[in-house]
């Protein structure tokens, strides 16, 4: 029927041109257009849509093009809370090699594992990821991302082919989870008696996880961003066969454009359609040939009610506090990153997409490795972070320039207690051998200093102390953190307790 109307219209058009006025003709043609195959498309042809081309820079300024979200090199805009899984049905060949190297290690290196009855058993206390290798520094691949705390002989990697699993007594921690993710574990009691584990940070369901003589699958939902721990009874081990973590919803970024009445609207990546999804729709439209420019501001990750972003693009940022109040002046890597982007003066009639280039707004420090060359056992208790001027609770970030201002110092002025770090005993190792410290997150982020101080923009001078129980000694060194940079420090403690710090 529609096609017939179109045909009639074309046939009578010359007659209309002769016998009717222009106004009547225009009205008739609009009526006929309303009967076309897809009027919605014709209506959209008279509108311009806001398309976003997103780019991200890394911590040291290298650029990642992320419009397609297909790369794995993303640092800030990557999908947060990715799905993960661990299967302990067999030990990979590379891990077997590392375990055997540790089993056969000779002085000055200490064997970490023994092998009996088709089972690798830990010989020393464990407060870290599981490792092997001649010097005990090779992380096992099939437990990567999991942290264990257990006494000597508390962890057994069963590899007998019939009931392969990790059997342990102690605490297992899954790092870097987001609220709402589901954690599923398949467990069993290794004996005929039922046992239980206790899960922390659980939102729904009992924190008690039963382990019966038969394999059971148990799922719990994460309550808050952070870690989830599984703790066994002090005198009873439990078999774990698999662990899986569901994917969390991508936080995306927040968008602001007063000219389009966009105020802290969430933008997420729609992987199915390959588009950035703005609020409830993929595009924001305006009439073609509409004059005027747009000022577009963005930040990541998106927060529903955390930030105030006025039309000038000034974002007031409050440091997310760690669970202990004395950590209020810095941000654990578990908590938040902060990126910013803008395009001001974007012409409505531009044929190009609006480009948002995200940059890192904070300053970051990463603790890399500690080498114990003292010749004796070294007990590292943690780190103390002190601001040589101030550390800051909050400040205002200009989303167009990246400059910080309006700093509010915390009441104490420094962090006097160690960041989240479990005390770790480091045995004497051969020269240049290293061990990674036990921390829920080795990355710590800070609000940079004001941009009007001398030196690079957003610098922050701090003092770091490595706390040891050797003669109550704290090994101190000064560093200057810079906005948008991640500085990694490897620490070597020598025979006379001299300290060498290498910055990467």
Q: Is 481 exposed, middle or buried (0-12, 13-18, 19+ CB in 10 A)?
A: buried
pLDDT-wise least confident of 229-233, 245-249, 456-460: 456-460
Cα–Cα distance between 333 and 58 in angstroms, integer?
A: 15
Structure tokens at 153: 């002989």
Distances (CA, A) of 204 to 39, 198, 211, 223: 49, 13, 19, 8
What's the whole-number average pLDDT of the chain? 75
Q: Is 372 exposed, middle or buried (0-12, 13-18, 19+ CB in 10 A)?
A: buried
Cα–Cα distance between 378 and 469 in angstroms, integer?
A: 8
Residue in 86, 272, 234 with CA at minimum distance from that of residue 149: 234
pLDDT band at 434 (very low <50, low <70, confident <90, very high): low
Residue that is written with structure tokens 């320039």 in the block: 401
Is there a contact between 185 and 173 (Cβ–Cβ < 8 Å)? Answer: no
Instruction: For residues 227-245, give the mean pLDDT.
Output: 93
pLDDT band at 157 (very low <50, low <70, confident <90, very high): very high
Cα–Cα distance between 284 and 296 in angstroms, integer?
A: 13
Give me the residues paired with residue 156 across strands. Answer: 121, 167
Give yes or no for residue 8 having a pLDDT over 50: no
Give yes or no for residue 209 having a pLDDT over 90: yes
What residues contact residue 108 under an 8 Å CB cut-off, 6+ apart?
428, 429, 430
Residue ranges in 161-319 assigned as alpha helix (H): none
Higher pLDDT, 49 or 168: 168
Instruction: For residues 76-90, give the mean pLDDT.
Output: 78
Degrees to nearest 5, angle at CA 445 with 443 and 449: 150
CA 244, chain centre distance (Å) = 18
What domains are defined for the chain? 2-44 (no CATH), 50-76+250-301+337-360 (no CATH), 84-245 (2.60.120.260), 363-503 (2.60.40)
Structure tokens at 105: 């290690």
Give yes or no for residue 248 having a pLDDT over 50: yes
Residue 11: its H or E element: helix 2-19
Q: What is residue 114's predicted lDDT score, i.e. its pLDDT?
A: 96
Torsion sign, CA atoms 413, 414, 417, 420: positive
pLDDT band at 273 (very low <50, low <70, confident <90, very high): confident
Is there a contact between 249 and 232 (Cβ–Cβ < 8 Å)? Answer: no
Cα–Cα distance between 374 and 428 in angstroms, integer?
A: 7
């Amino acid at each position: 029927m529609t096609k017939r109307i179109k045909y009639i219209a074309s046939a009578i058009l010359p007659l209309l041109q002769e016998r009717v006025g222009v106004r009547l003709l225009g009205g008739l043609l609009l009526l006929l257009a309303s009967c076309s195959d897809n009027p919605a498309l014709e209506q959209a042809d008279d509108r311009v849509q806001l398309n976003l081309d997103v780019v991200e820079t890394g911590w040291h300024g290298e650029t990642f093009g992320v419009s397609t979200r297909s790369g794995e090199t993303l640092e800030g805009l990557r999908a947060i809370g990715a799905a993960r899984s661990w299967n302990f049905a067999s030990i990979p060949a590379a891990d077997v090699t590392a375990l055997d190297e540790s089993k056969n290690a000779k002085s000055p290196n200490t064997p970490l594992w023994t092998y009996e009855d088709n089972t690798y058993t830990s010989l020393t206390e464990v407060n870290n990821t599981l490792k092997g290798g001649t010097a005990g520094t090779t992380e096992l691949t099939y437990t990567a991302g999991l942290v264990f705390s257990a006494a000597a002989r508390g962890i057994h990697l069963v590899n007998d082919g019939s009931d392969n699993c990790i059997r342990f007594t102690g605490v297992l921690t899954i790092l870097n989870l987001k609220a709402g993710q589901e954690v599923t574990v398949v467990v069993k009691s290794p004996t005929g008696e039922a046992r239980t584990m206790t899960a922390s940070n659980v939102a729904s369901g009992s924190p008690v996880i039963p382990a019966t003589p038969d394999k059971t699958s148990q799922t719990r939902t994460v309550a808050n961003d952070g870690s989830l721990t599984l703790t066994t009874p002090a005198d009873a081990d439990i078999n774990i066969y698999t662990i899986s973590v569901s994917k969390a919803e991508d936080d995306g970024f927040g968008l602001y454009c007063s000219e389009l009445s966009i105020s802290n609207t969430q933008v997420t990546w729609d992987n199915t359609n390959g588009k950035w999804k703005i609020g409830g729709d993929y595009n924001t439209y305006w009439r073609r040939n509409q004059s005027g420019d747009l000022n577009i501001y963005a930040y990541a990750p998106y927060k529903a009610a955390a930030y105030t972003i006025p039309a000038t693009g000034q974002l007031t940022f409050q440091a997310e506090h760690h669970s202990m109040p004395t950590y209020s002046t810095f941000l654990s890597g578990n908590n938040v990153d902060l990126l910013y982007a803008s395009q001001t003066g974007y012409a409505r009639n531009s044929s190009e997409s609006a480009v948002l280039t995200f940059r890192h707004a904070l300053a970051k420090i990463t603790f890399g490795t500690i080498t114990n060359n003292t010749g004796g056992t070294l007990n590292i208790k943690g780190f103390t972070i002190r601001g040589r001027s101030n550390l800051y609770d909050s400040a205002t970030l200009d989303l167009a320039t990246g400059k910080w201002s309006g700093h509010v110092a915390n009441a104490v002025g420094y962090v006097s207690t160690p960041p989240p770090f479990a005390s770790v005993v480091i045995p004497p190792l051969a020269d240049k051998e290293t061990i990674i410290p036990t921390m829920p997150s080795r990355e710590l982020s800070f609000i940079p200093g004001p941009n009007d101080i001398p030196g690079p923009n957003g610098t922050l001078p701090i003092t770091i102390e490595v706390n040891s129980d050797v003669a109550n000694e704290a090994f101190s060194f000064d560093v200057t953190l810079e906005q948008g940079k991640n500085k990694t420090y490897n620490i070597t403690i020598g025979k006379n307790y001299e300290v060498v710090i290498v910055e990467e």
